Amino acid sequence: MTDSNWFDSQTILDGIRRWVEIETPTEAPEQVNKLVSVVAEQYRGLPVTLERIAGVDGCGDHLVVRSNWGQEQPGILVLSHLDTVHPMGFIERLPFRIEGDVAFGPGIYDMKGGAYIAHHAFRTLCATGDRSPLGITHLFSSDEEIGSPTSRALIEQEGRKAKYVLVTEPARDGGKIVTGRKGVGRFRVFIKGVPAHAGSRPEDGRSAVRELGNVILALEGMNDLARGVTVNVGVVRGGTRPNVTPEEAYAEVDLRVVSLKDADEFVGKILALRSKTEGVTVTVTGELNRPPYEKSNAGASLYEHAKALAGEIGFELVDTHTGGGSDGNFTAPFTATLDGLGVDGKGAHTHYEQLYVPSLAPRARLLHRLFQTLR
């Protein structure tokens, strides 16, 4: 059998279907663990060592798969997450189905498809008796979609040991891979006012909701698209009844920045927000959750290498930057990192999430060729 016989999009899709049909919302650890068991089982008989790390803080287990060769020197770290944003039962609304060249399902694009093609590339490497020049470590995490609170330390630790990091997040905009990601900050705003009967004693009240209006305008005013800075007040709550001056209000805020310098500036500005109304307090908590990353020198040559391999396989690899954060943000500051190596498709986090079936074989082959050639 030649290498290319191992890469058939339909066969790969059958494997992805099995992973997709086990729903894995981040907040349902027993479901994530069910999939972890299936994935672990699929390594049976292969020359690997499995390490399953028990979940904590309401998250599922992480699985680390290490090749039995090449582990004495810095090797290749593959980062995938098995959790999805979709709640339990979402598969009723978005069942696995195929329409022409498109396959649908919860998490099929972000990122069970990508996790699976890297797994498939590794299996193929083993089945053909190949031993890559570098050792391969594939980390499947359980909590990426909530910011990786329980896997971040593990990702950073493995990332520091590695020479290259390959992230199987979805490809962007027609197959592009990702060499730059914005940093992400998350904040909560708590506003405390003074309640009163809004009809009979309005002069006694200090409205937290009114102050929330000031806070929203201040935050939204920080947006600077030309500079790549976005600030989104994505959640607001406040008040109890129409006839009560609201005592409390609340907001959740997402910040995206291109550089660490901007991160420092805007995190500082957001944390420094104060009330403009006497008798009302504004308290902001939060931080930069994922640092931004730009194409570093090592990352640039890794990208050029991948581009040449894609050319040999028969597709053009183009790189892009995205505002979306990933676990690649954690490793890019110190190890050459290439992201967006997952499947092509669209609709991440939506009810029309889908992958393009013909992208499966060439992109699995690219991962296989990276394994074979990185040294």
Q: Does 143 engage in binding with Zn ion (CB under 5 A)?
A: no
Extract the tokens encoding 45: 């008989």
Owner of token pair 């690219």? 366
Minimum CB distance to Zn ion, residue 356 (Å): 17
Minimum CB distance to Zn ion, residue 161 (Å): 23
DSSP output for 242-270: TTEE--EEEEEEEEEESSHHHHHHHHHHH
- Give the nearer residue to Zn ion in terms of CB position, either 110 or 319: 110
Specify the stretch interacting with Zn ion by CB under 5 A; choose among 90-98, 107-115, 117-125, 285-293: 107-115
Q: How many of the other CB atoms lie within 10 Å of CB of 289?
A: 18
Minimum CB distance to Zn ion, residue 5 (Å): 30
Extract the tokens encoding 15: 């494997």
Pairing of strands 164-167, 76-81: parallel
Minimum CB distance to Zn ion, residue 215 (Å): 30
- Give the nearer residue to Zn ion in terms of CB position, either 90 or 266: 90
- Give the nearer residue to Zn ion in terms of CB position, either 181 or 206: 181
- Give the nearer residue to Zn ion in terms of CB position, either 144 or 262: 144
Q: Return the residues of window 45-104 that contact Zn ion according to CB under 5 A.
A: none
Among 61, 110, 158, 262, binds Zn ion (CB under 5 A): 110
Minimum CB distance to Zn ion, residue 169 (Å): 5
For residue 190, give the 3-state DSSP assignment. Answer: strand
Q: Return the residues of window 153-172 that contact Zn ion according to CB under 5 A.
A: 169
What is the rounded CA–CA span in Å between residue 372 and residue 316? 19
Task: Enumerate residues 6+ apart whose C-beta is below 8 A from 171.
Answer: 177, 340, 341, 342, 343, 344, 345, 359, 363
What is the rounded CA–CA span in Å between residue 237 and residue 126? 53
- Give the nearer residue to Zn ion in terms of CB position, either 81 or 368: 81
- Give the nearer residue to Zn ion in terms of CB position, either 79 or 233: 79
- Give the nearer residue to Zn ion in terms of CB position, either 36 or 309: 36
Phi, psi of 206 (to 5 degrees): -130, 110
Minimum CB distance to Zn ion, residue 86 (Å): 12
Extract the tokens encoding 243: 């006839």
What is the rounded CA–CA span in Å between residue 192 and residue 105? 43
Minimum CB distance to Zn ion, residue 370 (Å): 19
How many positions of this chain bind Zn ion (CB under 5 A)?
A: 3
- Give the nearer residue to Zn ion in terms of CB position, either 13 or 115: 115
Specify the stretch interacting with Zn ion by CB under 5 A; choose among 38-46, 108-116, 298-306, 360-368: 108-116
For residue 180, give the 3-state DSSP assignment. Answer: strand
What is the rounded CA–CA span in Å between residue 29 and residue 142? 8
Phi, psi of 169 (to 5 degrees): -65, 160
Among 111, 177, 184, 251, binds Zn ion (CB under 5 A): 111
Q: Return the residues of window 294-323 that contact Zn ion according to CB under 5 A.
A: none
Minimum CB distance to Zn ion, residue 167 (Å): 9
Beta bridge partners of 186: 254, 287
User: HSE on the CB side for 204, CA within 13 Å?
Assistant: 8
Phi, psi of 197 (to 5 degrees): -70, 115
Q: How many of the other CB atoms lie within 10 Å of CB of 371?
A: 24
Minimum CB distance to Zn ion, residue 318 (Å): 20
Minimum CB distance to Zn ion, residue 248 (Å): 34
Q: How many of the other CB atoms lie within 10 Å of CB of 272?
A: 8
- Give the nearer residue to Zn ion in terms of CB position, either 111 or 263: 111
- Give the nearer residue to Zn ion in terms of CB position, either 111 or 310: 111
Chain residues binding Zn ion by CB under 5 A are 110-111, 169
